[in-house]
A and B are shown apart, each in its own frame.
Chain A
Amino acid sequence: MSFDTPDILLNLIKIGIVLGLILNVTPIMVWVERRGSALIQDRPGPNRIGPLGLIQAMADAAKFILKEDLVPAQAHKVLYNLAPMFGLIPAVTTCAAIPFARGFTIPDAFTYNGVIGALLVAGAVANFLFGVIALRVTAHFGAKPGATRFNQWIGKIVGVALIATAPVLFGLFAWFRSVGSVAMPLGLGGRYFEPIIADVSIGILLIFALSSLGVYGLATAGWASANKFSMIGAVRASAQMISYELALTLSAVGVLMSAGTLQLTEVVYRQSGTFVLFDMIPLPAWNVFPMFVGFIVFWVASFAETNRLPFDFAEAEAEIVAGYHTEYSSMKFALFFMAEYMAMGTISALMATLFLGGWDVPYWNEPATFVGFLASFGAFLAKTTFFLMVFVWVRWTVPRLKYDLLMKLGWKVFLPLALLNMVIVAILIPLGWI
């Protein structure tokens, strides 16, 4: 193994992109969840801090940090403190093996063309206009009773910052146009940028292995709290996650059978392109069409794996207070919260990768250029966001099951269905349909 500077730089860029995405899932999803639940229940939701309550999540984070950190007297101190980290680490590391866009060859030089110039000018003008609008809106609402000084300051800062970026962008445009072309710095030119942190040969197994460790966070937290409700939550969580992991893994086997490899980049490449149904309808070659049963099983099992509402027995607040994190307060509680949303983000991305063609833009053959990279990245984000939205939608729509029903459903319905999916794929592959 040898690394040179561009290699290290490229890897740092990838890690930066993925970490930036996964760490931002939590604040964005908290906002979406609270506003979405308000929308569904016909109430306003958090709308005081920032426009539309957008920076509510930051206020929540500040509150979590400032709160007192309580440790129960009877708790096992070491494990009590370690448990939130056990929960968080698998959630953060899993996303390293998911390809998030089409790879591209970095060009040796940037050359100026009309599109880039137009984009830069448009960005400058738009930023200026948005800045002015932000200032006007702040002034308008600041005059009304009930406006907080904090909100006014936020509005002013955002407005001024937006206006300040406008001349910078315009200057960039003027400079770029006069120079014509810029050589790629740091020897990055000519390198192939594969947008995945760890393109290992056992990709999907790595993801399942790491995500199967997520249960230890819950189980340890529940046990170390020395609280009956926490304990019940932990026992429920471990039984539930073992059961549904089976259905989850088996429903993904069909995908691996058709791809013939465990490497996730390869799985996605196999899904780009189209196939023609009944010699008439061209469809994207996504796995969701031949493996619809497996897709549904994976989708439902992902709710159980992330402890989301129809299956959130580890923390069912109507039955066992708050389940495994009853005794947790302050930032440790926030870590569990973050882990839950990160696990949601990862499993949504995984679902998009396995069944919806990952970064594949339907009916378009992405070129291996920067444009293709951006478009496919956008497609990947759109698919992932879709699944995240469904998580929120389902949580506020479907009531909680009974625990024995959950187990019955897992073992008697979803496990056989996952096996059925495998059989279907095994029949379709020799027929040449996949």
Chain B
Amino acid sequence: MFEYLIFFTFAAIAVIFSAIVVIHRNPVVSALALVVSFFSLAVMYVLLDAPFMAALQVIVYAGAIMVLFLFVIMLLNLAHTEEPITRPIQQFLGITAAASFAITIIYYLCKAAVLHTGGPAEFVSDARAIGVSMFEAYIFPFEAVSILLLAAIVGALILSQRTSAITEAKDGGAR
């Protein structure tokens, strides 16, 4: 009973704040609403017996990625730039597409309805089990992701440099 109460509260919070993310015209408000939405998703992970993933969700998404978003919005001072109204045709098509997608997928989820069993009795997802799984079965993807992150760091540095290495080389060639 208690679990259902938590589920519906946080599901409602997640949906409402996600809608704010999409609809609100101020990017700072959008970013903060997204943080709330991510936080309620972390609560969902706890309900799904995956507290480790919930903690990771808050640390990675709410604690790092969204701070980065907020930082960039503040740095570029985007909150005061007016976003032009979207063309009506784009709005109509977008809403139609999203709504039809949602209706279809929810219809088939309800129709199929094979997933009401609630799963097996025990689902161990503590840090030890995840660590063992990651460093045995998933060691190769793990290494690949570490290389990806390194590449992302280098890429972000080069992209956000005030004078990038490419333009500098070009300028040097021109002179």
Touching chains A and B, CB distance < 8 Å: yes
Interface residues of A (CB under 8 A from B): 1, 76, 79, 200-202, 205-206, 208-210, 212-213, 215-216, 219-220, 222-223, 231, 234-235, 238-239, 241-242, 245, 261-262
Distance of A208 Cα from B52 Cα, bound (Å): 12
Q: A200-B51, A212-B59 are in contact. Are A1 and B2 (CB under 8 A)?
A: yes
Determine if B51 and A215 form an interchain contact, defined as CB atoms under 8 angstroms apart: no
Please tell me if B70 contacts chain A, counting CB pairs below 8 Å: yes
Report the minimal beta-carbon distance from B2 to chain A, rounded to whole angstroms: 7
Please tell me if B126 contacts chain A, counting CB pairs below 8 Å: yes
Determine if A213 and B62 form an interchain contact, defined as CB atoms under 8 angstroms apart: yes
Determine if A234 and B74 form an interchain contact, defined as CB atoms under 8 angstroms apart: yes
Distance of A200 Cα from B46 Cα, bound (Å): 11
Determine if B79 and A212 form an interchain contact, defined as CB atoms under 8 angstroms apart: no
Report the minimal beta-carbon distance from B108 to chain A, rounded to whole angstroms: 33
Determine if B67 and A215 form an interchain contact, defined as CB atoms under 8 angstroms apart: yes
Determine if B64 and A242 form an interchain contact, defined as CB atoms under 8 angstroms apart: yes
Q: A202-B51, A219-B74 are in contact. Are A241 and B67 (CB under 8 A)?
A: yes
Report the minimal beta-carbon distance from A426 to chain B, rounded to whole angstroms: 14
Of the candidates A200, A202, A242, the one whose C-beta lies within 8 Å of that of B67 is A242
Determine if A238 and B71 form an interchain contact, defined as CB atoms under 8 angstroms apart: yes
- Indicate with 1 or 0, residue by residue over B71-98, a CB within 8 angstroms of chain A CB atoms: 1001100010000000000000000000
Chain B, interface SS category: helix
Please tell me if B56 contacts chain A, counting CB pairs below 8 Å: yes
Please tell me if B68 contacts chain A, counting CB pairs below 8 Å: yes
Determine if B28 and A231 form an interchain contact, defined as CB atoms under 8 angstroms apart: no
Distance of A223 Cα from B76 Cα, bound (Å): 12
Determine if A238 and B59 form an interchain contact, defined as CB atoms under 8 angstroms apart: no
Please tell me if B41 contacts chain A, counting CB pairs below 8 Å: no
Q: A212-B64, A238-B67, A242-B67 are in contact. Are A220 and B32 (CB under 8 A)?
A: yes
Report the minimal beta-carbon distance from A91 to chain B, rounded to whole angstroms: 15
Distance of A1 Cα from B6 Cα, bound (Å): 14
Report the minimal beta-carbon distance from B62 to chain A, rounded to whole angstroms: 6
Report the minimal beta-carbon distance from A274 to chain B, rounded to whole angstroms: 28
Determine if B55 and A223 form an interchain contact, defined as CB atoms under 8 angstroms apart: no
Report the minimal beta-carbon distance from B39 to chain A, rounded to whole angstroms: 8
Interface residues of B (CB under 8 A from A): 2, 26, 28-29, 32, 35, 39, 42, 51-52, 54-56, 58-59, 62-64, 67-68, 70-71, 74-75, 79, 126-127
Distance of A6 Cα from B51 Cα, bound (Å): 27
Given A205-B55, A242-B68, 5 other A-B contacts at CB below 8 A? Answer: A76-B29, A205-B52, A209-B59, A223-B74, A242-B64
A-B CB contact pairs (8 Å), 10 listed: A76-B28, A79-B29, A79-B32, A200-B51, A202-B55, A212-B62, A219-B70, A220-B32, A238-B70, A238-B71
Nearest 3 CB-CB pairings of A with B: A212-B63, A205-B55, A209-B58
Determine if A213 and B127 form an interchain contact, defined as CB atoms under 8 angstroms apart: no
**Chain B residues positioned under 8 Å from A76 (CB to CB):** 26, 28-29
Determine if A209 and B64 form an interchain contact, defined as CB atoms under 8 angstroms apart: no
**Chain A residues positioned under 8 Å from B74 (CB to CB):** 219, 222-223, 231, 234-235, 238
**Chain B residues positioned under 8 Å from A261 (CB to CB):** 127
Q: A205-B52, A216-B32, A239-B71 are in contact. Are A210 and B2 (CB under 8 A)?
A: no
Q: A223-B28, A235-B71 are in contact. Are A213 and B63 (CB under 8 A)?
A: yes
Q: Closest residue of chain B to A205, judged by CB? A: B55
Distance of A300 Cα from B150 Cα, bound (Å): 26
Report the minimal beta-carbon distance from A349 to chain B, rounded to whole angstroms: 19
Determine if B58 and A212 form an interchain contact, defined as CB atoms under 8 angstroms apart: yes
Q: A201-B51, A212-B58, A238-B71 are in contact. Are A262 and B63 (CB under 8 A)?
A: no
**Chain A residues positioned under 8 Å from B52 (CB to CB):** 201-202, 205
Of the candidates A209, A216, A223, A245, the one whose C-beta lies within 8 Å of that of B35 is A216
Q: A209-B55, A212-B58 are in contact. Are A201 and B67 (CB under 8 A)?
A: no
**Chain B residues positioned under 8 Å from A200 (CB to CB):** 51
Residue among A206, A210, A219 facing the most chain B CB atoms (10 A cut-off)? A219
**Chain A residues positioned under 8 Å from B64 (CB to CB):** 212, 242, 245
Distance of A201 Cα from B2 Cα, bound (Å): 21
Report the minimal beta-carbon distance from B38 to chain A, rounded to whole angstroms: 10
**Chain A residues positioned under 8 Å from B42 (CB to CB):** 209
Report the minimal beta-carbon distance from B82 to chain A, rounded to whole angstroms: 16
**Chain B residues positioned under 8 Å from A242 (CB to CB):** 64, 67-68, 71
**Chain B residues positioned under 8 Å from A238 (CB to CB):** 67, 70-71, 74
Determine if B28 and A245 form an interchain contact, defined as CB atoms under 8 angstroms apart: no
Distance of A223 Cα from B26 Cα, bound (Å): 12
Distance of A336 Cα from B29 Cα, bound (Å): 21
Residue among B51, B59, B64, B126 facing the most chain A CB atoms (10 A cut-off)? B59
Distance of A76 Cα from B28 Cα, bound (Å): 10
Distance of A209 Cα from B52 Cα, bound (Å): 11
**Chain A residues positioned under 8 Å from B75 (CB to CB):** 235
Report the minimal beta-carbon distance from A159 to chain B, rounded to whole angstroms: 50
Determine if B127 and A223 form an interchain contact, defined as CB atoms under 8 angstroms apart: no
